[in-house]
Structure 1
Amino acid sequence: MSLTILPFIQTQITRYGMSTLMVLGNIGNIFTVIIFYPRRKNSCAMYLLCAAILHSATFTFNGVVNVYTLDYGDPTARSLFLCKFRLYVTHIWNQSGRYLTVLACIDRYMWTKDDARTRFMNRSSTSHYLATIMFLFWHIFPIHIVVLVTISNGRCGPFGVYYVIYQVYSAVFLGLLPPILMSIFGFLAYRNMKKLHLRVRPVGNNGDDNNRRHRRDRDLLLMVLTEVVVYVLTAIPYPFVLLEVAVTNYMGVTKSVERVEIENFLNLTTLTLVFVTCGSPFYTYFVVSKAFRKDCKTLFTKWRNHAVGPSSGTQIPRARPLQTIHFSKNTKIVE
């Protein structure tokens, strides 16, 4: 029997919080993919597009399993294959999505350097190459999950010494390294952007097109920086909770039932905050970027016109067909 109300709150967060996050996050990520797809040749837009797809896959799979577990028990505790598959595959999707955002920060930093020697980083071919390497890396690097994760005492997860190693690994590569890299390159990009504002850009015959592309790139920088801020605020608490639980468990610290309930609650709450970063990008983009809001408005207008059709007031009246007049033989034509 629980000593606090925290397990009940934890259940409600999983049932309703995860479900709401899954629905709103998927809606937002679908719109993000639709809006960025026409601009996929832009390296930064391509990173954000792929990250949105992976983020949706991550919290959809995890959300469904977590909600299912509340009523029917943990399915991963009854199948070793499903146990390893869930932790390994969702880890790949999760980390790939996060480090695609890191690549987007690096891309914006390279763009703001305004240096011809680093412009190859902003090419579409380079972004595809880097994204592929990163995706393959996250298939190979966490292969230890497939080997060492197992089922013990009706629970799926890491155990023994590997439990501590896995928690430290998660804290570093999931909770600490991504926000640190995002913050570094985001700050450098912002500083370079401030310098670019002081320069006078030459305007040629196609100056309007250049200015339009420049505004688009600047909006992408603003969206990436906002996503970095949200990620840092939501992801930082998680690694510290992980490390505290892992170290105290490994040291054999005797814990009361109340302390265990508090640790479980903090673990779930901070993990839910981490998943907020998977579903929030569309809404942060919508708030901070005027161009993104304009793209959304254009998209909704097209859908509305396609669904409703043109209004009757704007329809062009049809021309009446010409009538053929037949003359009989006795008809006289007066000249």
Structure 2
Amino acid sequence: MSSNDPYIRQIQLSIQYIALTFGFPILILGIIGNILNIIVFLHKASYKHNASSFYMLVKSFFDLNVLVISLAGDIIIDGFHANALTSENWCKFRVPLAYINSLCSSSCLCLQAIDSYMCSSRNATIRQYSTIKKARYLIVGFLFVWICNECPYYFMKSANIIPNLTCQTSNTIYRTYRSYFTILVLNIIVPITIISLFGYLTYKNMHTLNTDGQYRLSTLTKQTIRMALYETIIVLLFKCPFGIAQIYLVSTANIVKDVYRQTKEQFITLFFYFYVYNANAVPFFCYFAASKSFRKQVIDTIKRIRFNQRTNLIFPLGEIVGATWQEHWFEHNQLLTRVYYGDDLALYYDDDVARSTVPYISKYLSDAWRYVKRNYGSFGPDERLYAIFHTGRYSGGHPSYYYSASHDFKNVIDQGAGPWFEQLGSMDIPTHEIFHIVEMASFNTQGSPGFW
């Protein structure tokens, strides 16, 4: 049957229409959403030390790559019939790269579901398996595995099927392996099974915790679990129909079909290919809908990000205090100098504190504050600890909290009189003051009746 047949021509025009009108909105919204995810997760210090949020961050990178490499290519090929993008060299570059990113994204989704289950478990041993260090190793490991899985494609001779304009290998065995194992099993069946199972187990854990109240999750953990569960539901909504369509195509691959059936199946296949890209495009909107805290962070990030021309870095306004800080509380009246600044700590000295102590103090307090945030939740909108050290004045120490104007709405520990690290136990006072911040401001809770 000629492709000039009006019915077939109409379906082909419908295919082109879907690619342009359905593909472009997914591409644009997906790129914007994933970029916002990356910015928020990178700028919020507490997210960098939580395994679930780390998986979300890395998944956003892979999802962005999938949309730019794979979806944009499909729009150009199917929407504009660009034959150049189905050349052998281009196919060998685009197809493996697209599947590496897609498989890595699915791996992050599965690891995220498993981590949510571990974090919500009442068993302390299971919870201990959720660490940022293990998460990094797992991401690198899966990336290596999927690169190895896709490497054979570079050595296979590609065949350009016209007019379908698809990239395929001429090696029948490898093509069958990709159709059944890589696409159907690894990219569809395994992710759907894992996120369904662990999503259900996580939901049961959360229900149990809400019922008995014996173990309390941190605010950050509850937030990431809720975000992960929302994403699981939405991803299943997009992956399951695509999986059913793929099972049908694989099971009928050896059946002789007339041109009408082939054209109809091409239309259905293309529709579900674009439909499943939503799974890579919508995570940001899932997180935004699931978490009030995430919504606030997104809005604050959009409003407060500015470009710092001196360092060519992007910083949120209001979170970076100046290089100096004038004390204006109690009898304190020193002009402090910032000697260290990181994701977890801003360290200030007066003129008499030895600068040689900066490496030790900054490491000790950064480690301590990360531990506190990991176990005792959020401490206001600014996640940093502001530590002030004096030598030769202001004996003892005191804390201040993010909800207090006395110290410019920062979580502060202020201590003297030193000298620091010249005697055993010199970190006792700073540690003691951190305990007070935990008591008075953990889980964004203001005040404690037990404070003395």
Instruction: Tell me the TM-score range normalised by the shorter chain.
Output: 0.7 to 0.9
- Distance in 2, matches of 1:115 and 1:303, equals 40
How well do the aligned residues superpose, as a CA RMSD in angstroms? 2.5
**What is the aligned residue count?**
297
How do 1:108-127 residues align onto structure 2 when only pairs under 5 Å count? 108-127=116-135
How do 1:96-135 residues align onto structure 2 when only pairs under 5 Å count? 96-135=104-143
1:208-254 per-residue CA deviation (whole Å, 9 max, x = no partner) reads xxx7x7122112111111111111111112233223333433x2x23
CA contact (8 A) 1:158 1:166 kept: no
Shift of 1:275: 0.7
CA contact (8 A) 2:242 2:273 kept: yes
How do 1:129-168 residues align onto structure 2 when only pairs under 5 Å count? 129-148=137-156, 150-152=158-160, 156-159=167-170, 160-168=172-180
1:317 alignment counterpart: none
Counterpart residue identity of residue 75, structure 1: A
1:281-321 per-residue CA deviation (whole Å, 9 max, x = no partner) reads 111111122111121222233249x9xx99xxxxxxxxxxx
CA contact (8 A) 1:163 1:246 kept: no
1:92 alignment counterpart: 100
Q: Which has the higher helix share?
A: 1
Counterpart residue identity of residue 217, structure 1: T
- Distance in 2, matches of 1:61 and 1:15, equals 16
Deviates more, 1:181-190 or 1:4-13: 4-13
Shift of 1:257: 2.0
The answer to whether residue 228 in structure 2 is matched with residue 228 in structure 1 is no
**Residue 152 to residue 300, structure 1, CA distance change in 2 (3 Å):** closer
The answer to whether residue 20 in structure 2 is matched with residue 7 in structure 1 is no
**Residue 243 to residue 215, structure 1, CA distance change in 2 (3 Å):** same
CA contact (8 A) 2:71 2:274 kept: no
Deviates more, 1:238-247 or 1:184-193: 238-247
The answer to whether residue 27 in structure 2 is matched with residue 27 in structure 1 is no
CA contact (8 A) 1:121 1:127 kept: no
CA contact (8 A) 1:120 1:126 kept: no
Shift of 1:161: 4.3
**Residue 129 to residue 57, structure 1, CA distance change in 2 (3 Å):** same
CA contact (8 A) 1:110 1:118 kept: yes
Deviates more, 1:213-222 or 1:83-92: 213-222
The answer to whether residue 231 in structure 2 is matched with residue 245 in structure 1 is no
Structure 2: where are the runs of 5+ without partners?
309-316, 319-452
Q: Which has the higher strand share?
A: 2
Counterpart residue identity of residue 71, structure 1: F
Q: Identity of paired residues, percent?
A: 21
CA contact (8 A) 1:241 1:267 kept: yes
CA contact (8 A) 2:15 2:270 kept: yes
2:292 alignment counterpart: 290
- Distance in 1, matches of 2:157 and 2:180, equals 15
- Distance in 1, matches of 2:243 and 2:152, equals 20
- Distance in 2, matches of 1:67 and 1:228, equals 26
Normalising by structure 2, what TM-score? 0.61
Shift of 1:149: 5.5
SS state of the match for residue 122, structure 1?
A: coil
**Residue 184 to residue 239, structure 1, CA distance change in 2 (3 Å):** same
Shift of 1:274: 1.3
Shift of 1:27: 0.5
How do 1:315-334 residues align onto structure 2 when only pairs under 5 Å count? none
Q: Which has the higher contact order (CA 8 A, sep 6+)?
A: 1
- Distance in 2, matches of 1:74 and 1:246, equals 26
- Distance in 2, matches of 1:61 and 1:72, equals 17
Counterpart residue identity of residue 297, structure 1: I
CA contact (8 A) 1:111 1:119 kept: yes
**Residue 31 to residue 152, structure 1, CA distance change in 2 (3 Å):** closer
**Residue 107 to residue 149, structure 1, CA distance change in 2 (3 Å):** farther
- Distance in 2, matches of 1:201 and 1:107, equals 20
- Distance in 2, matches of 1:161 and 1:242, equals 18
2:325 alignment counterpart: none
- Distance in 1, matches of 2:174 and 2:153, equals 10
CA contact (8 A) 1:235 1:270 kept: no
- Distance in 2, matches of 1:153 and 1:36, equals 42
Shift of 1:76: 3.9
CA contact (8 A) 1:171 1:240 kept: no
SS state of the match for residue 49, structure 1?
A: helix
The answer to whether residue 286 in structure 2 is matched with residue 274 in structure 1 is no
